[in-house]
Amino acid sequence: MKRYELPTMFTIRGVIRKLGRRRLSFCVVLALFFLIALQIFFHPNVKDMLELHKCPACYGVSLCSDILQGPSEISISFDYMGRLGVFANIITTKNVFSGLLNDKRVIVKRLGHSSELHLLDKKICLAMGSQEDCGAKLKQVVLKVPNIHGSIEKVLNESKDFNEFRLRLCPSTEHVRTLFSPILPKVNGSNDGRLDNDGTTAHIWTLLLINPEPLFLQIMRAEDGWPVPHYLGACGRIAVTLHAGEPLVDFLHRSWPERAGLALQLLLAADRFTFSHPQFAFYLLDISSDNIVVNEKGKLSFVDLEHLVVVDRHPTYIPDTWNESHVSEVYDDCPGCNTFSSDSLCQHHISDHNHHVICEQLLGPGIGSSGNSLPGGLLHSIPSDIQKQYPQIVVFLNECSLGKGKDHIRSARRLRDTLNIASKESPLFGDQKLLQTWKYF
């Protein structure tokens, strides 16, 4: 018997002794009964989730023709985990479910907790000056919001606190139509659409009030090489994406070459979000291993785009510090803390925020908060042969994650390039997926 199996066996025996065989058998039977009952009897009503009667105070209707197959037929079916999620939603109100749509694995999101969805309706009513619940009239109310263009700009700029805002566009909102041009209807063939009191603008405004993620999945499309899930569309108050993989934390103990490939993708993603758009830089404010998944081909995706600061890199009027690069703060009394100031991000044409947070929270040696789900960092346990041949890996990793006053973008890029060189030169990598990483970007 292998030694590493002994602790597990002793643990199991301890549980059996503590519970007793009869109690343990009862718990197993009860769990099996619950799972079977969940599969057979629990069939959540997707139509209730759609809330189509509230449109255009909803997320869109582009996917309704695929979802609705008649008065009583729905083409989305929840798989086992999706049903469990719906059942758990009664307690947790997370409102994210997995399922099938036309034989494709999908993720269905209601984009907010149940309490947040209720608050959304109240916000829309208040925008029309109604102090009472106008839920029955939302369909008419949302198209009559005074100056909806101005209301959208206000939402994008009115709040600066992470817990209060979903999205901030700065240092000005003058190019808001450019930001949403991939979504807005084209006018006379122009890419610069209008934010009028129509259905599409109502969808944009509604999403900004609850969760802007579907908007950015259309601005930064997976089809164009962005590291995000493929967006299928919306129907009423659900948004649907293709299932993009399993959580990054599941890969913490994979082979080092495989983890190095994921690290390289994360560093490329930092560049992509910061530099790839011709007009805007996108700074992700909730980068964590919970919000990143990896599919069966090793491709990585960011699956939570709820909190962002979007910096217009070509504003008409620029702040005094605009031409200086913003450098993320590193605090001795709070090592690994993901601290930021949206005001600071907005005062500079470029920031190292994405690069620093990815190095500090995901790749580095696990000095973050006590809740760090990647202890040791994704690049832990570097093989001795790699350390001897490429000692710069540790140097650049420490610089981009811990370095005070360092150019974290430069350090992250040096780490990226060193990993890429190692993948081509070291026999340790063999036929690993790292060499294919660049094709994803």
CA distance 169 to 155: 9
Q: Parallel, antiparallel, or unpaired: how do β-strands 308-312 and 167-170 relate? A: parallel
3-state secondary structure of 107: strand
Q: Is the pLDDT of residue 15 over 50?
A: no
201-215, 365-379, 412-426: the lowest-pLDDT one: 365-379
For residue 187, with 0-12 CB atoms within 10 Å meaning exposed, 13-18 middle and 19 or more buried, which class applies? Answer: exposed
Q: Is the pLDDT of residue 350 over 90?
A: yes
110-114, 279-283, 315-319, 392-396: the lowest-pLDDT one: 110-114
8-17, 130-139, 152-161, 251-260: the lowest-pLDDT one: 8-17
What percent of the chain has pLDDT above 70? Answer: 71
Per-residue pLDDT averaged across 347-369, rounded? 85
Q: Is the pLDDT of residue 366 over 90?
A: no
55-69, 135-149, 273-287, 337-351: the lowest-pLDDT one: 135-149
Residue scoring higher pLDDT (369 or 100): 100
Confidence (pLDDT) at 132: 65
Confidence (pLDDT) at 46: 72
Q: Is the pLDDT of residue 61 over 90?
A: yes
Contact between residue 142 and residue 205 where contact means Cβ atoms under 8 Å apart: yes
Q: Is the pLDDT of residue 83 over 70?
A: no
Q: Is the pLDDT of residue 92 over 50?
A: no
Distances (CA, A) of 273 to 25, 34, 219, 393: 52, 44, 12, 23
Confidence (pLDDT) at 29: 61
For residue 146, with 0-12 CB atoms within 10 Å meaning exposed, 13-18 middle and 19 or more buried, which class applies? Answer: exposed
Contact between residue 313 and residue 279 where contact means Cβ atoms under 8 Å apart: yes
Bond prior to 229 in cis (omega within 30° of 0): no
pLDDT category at 303 given cuts 50, 70, 90 is: very high
**How are strands ordered across the β-sheet holding 104-109?**
76-78, 96-101, 104-109, 238-242, 231-235
* Structure tokens that stand for 78 in this block: 């929840």
CA angle 234, 286, 360 (to 5 degrees): 145
Q: Report pTM.
A: 0.84
DSSP 8-state code for residue 369: -
- What is the b/e burial string over 281-305, where b = at least 16 CB atoms within 10 angstroms of the residue's CB? bbbbbebbbebbbbeeebbbbbbbb
CA distance 379 to 261: 10
Confidence (pLDDT) at 276: 95
DSSP 8-state code for residue 190: B
* Structure tokens that stand for 87 in this block: 């059942």
Confidence (pLDDT) at 354: 96
With a CB cutoff of 8 Å and minimum separation 6, the contacts of 323 are: 349
Q: Is the pLDDT of residue 266 over 90?
A: yes
What percent of the chain has pLDDT above 90? Answer: 45
Residues present in the chain in total:
441
The span from the first CA to the last CA of the chain, in angstroms, equals 46
Residue scoring higher pLDDT (204 or 9): 204
Confidence (pLDDT) at 320: 92
> 218-225: long-range contacts (C-beta < 8 A, 24 or more apart)?
218/182, 218/183, 219/179, 219/180, 219/182, 219/183, 220/273, 220/277, 220/282, 221/182, 222/301, 225/272, 225/440, 225/441
* Structure tokens that stand for 168 in this block: 């901030």
DSSP 8-state code for residue 250: G
Distances (CA, A) of 224 to 41, 180, 272: 42, 16, 11
51-65, 112-126, 248-262, 365-379: the lowest-pLDDT one: 365-379
For residue 124, with 0-12 CB atoms within 10 Å meaning exposed, 13-18 middle and 19 or more buried, which class applies? Answer: buried
Contact between residue 363 and residue 378 where contact means Cβ atoms under 8 Å apart: yes
Contact between residue 277 and residue 433 where contact means Cβ atoms under 8 Å apart: no
* Structure tokens that stand for 24 in this block: 């343990």
**Is the CA virtual torsion 54, 76, 113, 235 positive or negative?**
negative
3-state secondary structure of 147: coil
Q: Is the pLDDT of residue 82 over 50?
A: no
User: How many C-beta atoms surround the C-beta of residue 72 within 10 A?
Assistant: 7
Per-residue pLDDT averaged across 224-235, rounded? 96
Residue scoring higher pLDDT (96 or 303): 303
Q: Is the pLDDT of residue 135 over 80?
A: no
